[in-house]
Copies of this chain bind each other. A is one copy, B any other.
Amino acid sequence: MARSSQTELAVLGVLSVEPMTGYAIREAIRDVLGHFWSESFGQIYPALGRLEASGLVRREGSSRARASAFALTESGRLRLGELLREPPQQAPPRNGLLLRLFFGRELGVEACRDLLRDARDDAQRRLEAYAAVRAEITADDAHADERPFWLLTVTAGEHTARATLEWAEASLTALVDPDDRNPG
């Protein structure tokens, strides 16, 4: 019972919104939680199997739909509460961009500026994506009571994207190559 899996938390979580198939779970995670979470099929199906075996979810043989959706049981909802209350464990940081910039002397100033430009454009694109997601959530009346929480995560993304954008722009201004005598 004690084995706390992040994947099971995510799966139980999306099923708490509404019952769906494993395939739909993966789509929901990709499209809705995609800014801060990811799961692959190879994780989801075994997780669903374990959850069903321990009675936390059950199959609903829906009559008209092609396949059977999974639904949260009562004990599943309790278990979800338990998992949500566990302190969020953050993965050890691994930022490939900063790693490369840190060794910028070896990489050369121009290549660093390329990396910064990519990061800037990426942050810009992310900001636009967040605006779209925000509009979608605001328009979705079916989940009005979940809206403030969903928007919380979008706002978080916007803040960090904007921070990255500003950092990249400031760094592009600061990091000028006086005279390219670096290797490469």
Contact = CB atoms under 8 A, between A and B. Distances in A.
Interface of A: 6, 9-10, 13, 16, 33-38, 77, 80-81, 84-85, 88-107, 111-112, 115, 145-146, 148-150, 152-153, 155-156, 159-160, 162-164, 166-167, 170-171, 174-175, 183-184
Given A84-B107, A88-B115, A94-B37, A101 B152 contact: yes
The A interface, classified by DSSP as helix, strand, loop or mixed, is: helix
Of residues A92, A98, A164, which shows the largest number of chain B Cβ atoms within 10 Å of its Cβ?
A98
A37 B93 contact: yes
23 contacts: A6-B94, A13-B103, A35-B98, A36-B98, A36-B99, A36-B102, A38-B93, A77-B106, A81-B183, A88-B97, A88-B115, A90-B96, A91-B94, A98-B156, A101-B153, A102-B149, A102-B153, A104-B148, A152-B175, A156-B171, A159-B167, A160-B160, A160-B164
